Copies of this chain bind each other. A is one copy, B any other.
């Protein structure tokens, strides 16, 4: 069973000793509520490192007002069991009061790309993400950090931050893990009613439709978005928050896809109070 660590200095001492001993450390940052997607990342970490640390921290700074910080699912005993089975050596799960003590004032920001896509609906979200990831990197001192492609914008933003702030850390991005019907695994799927759950795979079906259109030679953003919208509204009660056809590196929207361009097709759809996201990368 993985060792549970709560204190920041203890985590740092263990990391320091491991590094001095020539061990490679990999970190898999999570907010708990682990599902097969997280576990696949832990298994990837296990293949690349001697010491695998899974962090479990529901980070208040990345939730906006009215978002689901309070009701976000928490079950440390279950998560510890699952992470251990997948190969985690250490579960680092600091208290909120240790991460954000009284007088806390510091944040890390990546400009521009954090105001797009998810950042439009969640204006302070990525500042919370980049700040907590910086803090977790300083606690765990990893050589390698593993993130999931499910959160494509998060991956792009953290990649930018790691490069800009000269973190000496290699990033590995694991593929999105899906339910048999195509729904991307997410800790928020548990919020869905049975009927919403039945409709939710429409996100991935719309992405496959976009991919097929691109492969068939369609280059215009408007047409791709139109067929995705048509599918979603005809076969679900979901409210589309956004559909984006963007450059995979800069996350800037593209009006017309260029030959050789890597395109991130992504969307967010609300089912009642539950907001789901999904994406695919297409190299045209």
Q: Which of A's residues lie within 8 Å of B, judged by CB?
A: 8, 12, 16, 19-20, 22, 103-113, 130-131, 134-135, 138-139, 141, 160-161, 164-168, 250
Q: How far is A135 from B162 in the complex, measured between Cα atoms in Å?
A: 10
B108 with A108: CB separation less than 8 A: yes
Show 22 A/B contacts (Cβ-Cβ < 8 Å), sorted by A.
A8-B166, A12-B166, A16-B168, A19-B20, A20-B22, A104-B164, A105-B110, A105-B111, A105-B160, A106-B110, A106-B111, A106-B160, A106-B161, A107-B108, A108-B165, A109-B109, A131-B165, A134-B165, A138-B165, A138-B167, A138-B168, A141-B168
Residues of B within 8 A of A168 (CB): 12, 16, 138, 141
With the chains together, A104 CA to B250 CA distance in Å?
11
Residues in B whose Cβ lies below 8 Å from that of A160:
103, 105-106
> How many Å lie between the Cα of A20 and that of B130 in the bound state?
28
CB of A196, distance to nearest CB on chain B (Å):
36
Report B-chain residues with C-beta under 8 Å of the C-beta of A131: 165
CB-CB under 8 A from A109, the residues of chain B are 106-109
- In the bound complex, CA of A161 to CA of B109 (Å): 14
Residues of B with C-beta under 8 A to A139: 166
A126 CB to nearest chain B CB (Å): 11
Distance between Cα atoms of A105 and B165 in the complex (Å): 10
Q: Which residue of B lies closest to A8 (CB)?
A: B166
